[in-house]
């Protein structure tokens, strides 16, 4: 079965890429850094989903991954007019994360100190994803200083990093891992 679609276009060989709308920008443009970091986060979420975690967590992560792709499209747009054909960004994604955080927290011991990342490979990937999410949030906030950015994206990223932290704690419990509290001055 032959395909006419080629993954390579050679259009970026000179260090530039196109935004949604056709504007050519350097590959280090703030918009590229922001949505590229979201793409990195999305890949790590896929890795978390590949572990033997509950189907419920996998379903939530798939919803998150779809939202991230939509957010990337908004960030890649060179003109707000181009976003009219994109899926709508909904606040209900934030509400979903809040509900998930609350449900997991009900099953966890009270947090009395910072905890050290680790305890199980999937837990570590949750923490890596959390830190990538925070970096993405910082980049999107910086981007919002110069370009129009949907506020729901920033709020979603803020809540997603919280979700990933609580998911790491919950998976530590699910996999009988140990939460190691931070002990300064050891």
pLDDT tens, 12-59? Answer: 767 777 767 777 877 788 988 999 999 999 999 999 999 999 999 999
- pLDDT the model gives residue 11: 67
More confident residue, 9 or 107: 107
- Rounded to two decimals, the pTM is 0.91
Check residues 100 and 90 and name the one with the higher pLDDT. 100
CATH superfamily ID and name for 25-79+90-98+117-177: Cobalamin adenosyltransferase-like (1.20.1200.10)
Mean pLDDT, the chain, whole residue set: 91
The answer to whether the CB of 66 falls within 8 A of the CB of 145 is no
Q: What is the pLDDT of residue 19?
A: 66
In which band, very low, low, confident or very high, does the pLDDT at 2 lie, cut at 50, 70 and 90? low
Q: Contacts by 89-97 with C-beta closer than 8 Å and gap 24+?
A: 89/150, 89/152, 89/153, 89/156, 90/152, 91/152, 91/155, 93/63, 93/64, 93/67, 93/152, 93/156, 94/152, 94/155, 94/156, 94/159, 96/60, 96/63, 97/64, 97/156, 97/159, 97/160, 97/162, 97/163
Task: Output the pLDDT for position 123.
Answer: 97
Q: For residue 58, what pLDDT is reported?
A: 98
pLDDT(163) > 70: yes
Two structure tokens written together for 116: 């050290």
Is residue 37 within 8 A of residue 111, CB to CB? The reply is: no
pLDDT band at 3; cut points 50, 70, 90? low
Compute the average pLDDT of residues 2-6.
Answer: 69
The predicted model gives 171-175 an average pLDDT of 97
pLDDT digits (tens, 9 = 90+) for 105-137: 999 999 989 999 999 999 999 999 999 999 999
Rounded Cα–Cα distance for residues 120 and 109 (Å): 18
């Amino acid at each position: 079965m032959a395909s006419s679609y080629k993954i390579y276009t050679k259009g970026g060989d000179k260090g530039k890429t196109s935004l949604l709308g056709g504007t050519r920008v350097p590959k280090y443009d703030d918009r590229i850094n922001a949505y590229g970091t979201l793409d990195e986060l999305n890949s790590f979420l896929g890795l978390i989903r590949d572990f033997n975690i509950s189907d419920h967590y996998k379903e939530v992560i798939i919803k998150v991954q779809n939202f991230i792709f939509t957010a990337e499209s908004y960030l890649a747009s060179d003109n707000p007019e181009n976003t009219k054909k994109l899926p709508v960004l909904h606040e209900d994604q934030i509400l979903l994360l809040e509900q998930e955080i609350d449900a997991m927290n009900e099953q966890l011991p009270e947090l009395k100190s910072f905890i050290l990342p680790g305890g199980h490979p999937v837990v570590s990937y949750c923490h890596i994803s959390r830190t990538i999410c925070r970096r993405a949030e910082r980049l999107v906030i910086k981007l919002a200083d110069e370009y129009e950015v949907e506020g729901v994206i920033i709020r979603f990223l803020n809540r997603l990093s919280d979700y990933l932290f609580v998911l790491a704690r919950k998976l530590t419990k699910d996999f009988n891992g140990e939460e190691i509290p931070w002990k300064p001055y050891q």
